[in-house]
Amino acid sequence: MKVAVLTGGGDCPGLNAVIRAIVRRASIHGFEVMGLREGWRGLLEDSHFRLTRETTSGILHRGGTILGTSRVNPFKVENGLEKVMHTVERNQIAGIIAIGGEGTLSAASQLHQKGLKVVGIPKTIDNDLNGTDFTFGFDTAVGIATEAIDRLHSTAESHKRVIVVEVMGRHVGWIATYSGIAGGADVILVPEIPVELDKVAEHIHRRHSTGRSFSIVVVAEGTRIKTADNESEHLVTSGQTDEAGRPRLGGVGAYVAQEIERRTGYETRVSVLGHIQRGGIPTAWDRVLATRFGVHGCDMVSRGEWGRMAALRGNEIVSVELATATASLKRVSQEFFEVAQVFFG
Ligand code: F6P
């Protein structure tokens, strides 16, 4: 039986750990594993190579993905569905394991409805996939952001500055909230709650008037800013779009920094962590989660659990409907955010 594996969407630490686990488990089931190049593009263009124990050895700790990735969506390509099905038939692929985030797994769910035998494995540093308590990649990204906040604390204190740290998080503020709590940030701004800059400035002003000489503000890149009349809100984008046609984010940190300085008069700087959060070696926790997902995903294939996704519930790996997991995003709850708010009012 031949199983094909792909990694789609933004990369994250732990992808190679999943690929390695799938190949190891597959050898126990007696499956042959084919690696599809660059996400769905590999199926559209019939581009793949054989994955073996030898070719996947020594990759557990490596960041990125040996398969390459893209945000290509078969439903946005002319005759995409036919091309996908043709590759599957021509190569006698019995099933596909799609490792991806919201975009890749939504396409997987739609393809399943059209007859593709597919199992999903959730990945993303953003941790915004529903149906799973955590995605791998998130813990590594939080660790990187927390270390950055720790480092920025000392320089902010020396210079009596406000430092705004922009972290990733397109639709949700999990990285901002976790790293902000772990790093002791003074303000955390997330996409779930549109920001009133006057209130942020007031808070920083109050803090500094009670003897503090510096502040750290963590802002997720997808945070929307309320207009002066509070009637509407806007997203700060780079003005460009990505491969999937979505606005490329980035810039909200600089905007918030400029507005804080203008409103408070305190010297303010910005640090944008960007893709540093996605690169490099995965934490031990992400490696373990990725490995468990890989083994479980392969077992789901052997049981024919098509149209489902491996997921973490508590400390158990379970499987959930792909359609349910991709129907909406997992946002930071008010209850969770209130823990962070205890420290910045
Ligand atoms: O999807 C994860 C993510 O890290 C988002 O937070 C971010 O908006 C996006 O990837 C940026 O990805 P890229 O620059 O690779 O298009």
Q: Tell me how many helices (H) and strands (E) the chain has.
A: 11, 15
pLDDT at 140 over 90: yes
126 lines ligand 1 (CB under 6 A): yes
The per-residue pLDDT for range 289-326, each reduced to its tens digit, is 999 999 999 999 999 999 999 999 999 999 999 999 99
277 lines ligand 1 (CB under 6 A): no
319 lines ligand 1 (CB under 6 A): no
Residue nearest to atom 15 of ligand 1 (CA): 10
Q: Percent of the chain scored above 90 by pLDDT? A: 94
Amino acid at 166: E
Pairing of strands 162-167, 215-220: parallel
Residue 241 confidence (pLDDT): 92
Residue nearest to atom 12 of ligand 1 (CA): 10
**What secondary structure does DSSP assign to 143-159, as a single string?**
HHHHHHHHHHHHHHHHH
176 lines ligand 1 (CB under 6 A): no
Q: What is the average pLDDT across 270-275? A: 98
Place of tokens 């790996």: 317
The per-residue pLDDT for range 29-38, each reduced to its tens digit, is 999 999 999 9
Tokens of 273: 């962590």
Q: Which strands make up the sheet holding 316-321, listed edge to edge?
A: 48-51, 32-36, 2-7, 93-100, 118-122, 308-313, 316-321
Residue nearest to atom 16 of ligand 1 (CA): 242
Rounded distance from Cα 257 to ligand 1 centre (Å): 22
pLDDT, greater one: 232 or 167: 167
Q: What is the average pLDDT across 178-190? A: 98
pLDDT confidence of 345, banded at 50, 70, 90? Answer: low
Partners of 313 in the beta sheet? 316
Residue nearest to atom 11 of ligand 1 (CA): 10
**4 with 43: CB under 8 angstroms?**
yes
13 lines ligand 1 (CB under 6 A): no
Task: State how far the Cα of 181 lies from the Cα of 193, in Å rounded to an integer.
Answer: 17
Percent of residues in the chain assigned helix, strand, coil, to nearest 5: 40, 25, 35
**273 with 7: CB under 8 angstroms?**
no
Q: Read off the pTM.
A: 0.96
Rounded distance from Cα 170 to ligand 1 centre (Å): 7
Beta-carbon-side half-sphere exposure of residue 115 (alpha carbons within 13 Å): 8
Pocket test for ligand 1, best of 242, 277, 329 (most atoms within 8 A of CB): 242
**What secondary structure does DSSP assign to 251-288, as a single string?**
-HHHHHHHHHHHHH---EEEEE-GGGGTSSPPPHHHHH
Q: What is the average pLDDT across 256-267? A: 98
Q: Is 77 left (phi over 0), alpha (psi -120 to 50) or beta?
A: beta
Residue nearest to atom 4 of ligand 1 (CA): 168
220 lines ligand 1 (CB under 6 A): no
pLDDT at 209 over 70: yes
Q: Could you say which DSSP state residue 196 is in?
A: -
Q: Helix H segments across 130-213? A: 138-159, 174-183, 197-209
Active site residues per annotation: 126
Rounded distance from Cα 1 to ligand 1 centre (Å): 35
Residue 60 confidence (pLDDT): 98
103 lines ligand 1 (CB under 6 A): no
145 lines ligand 1 (CB under 6 A): no
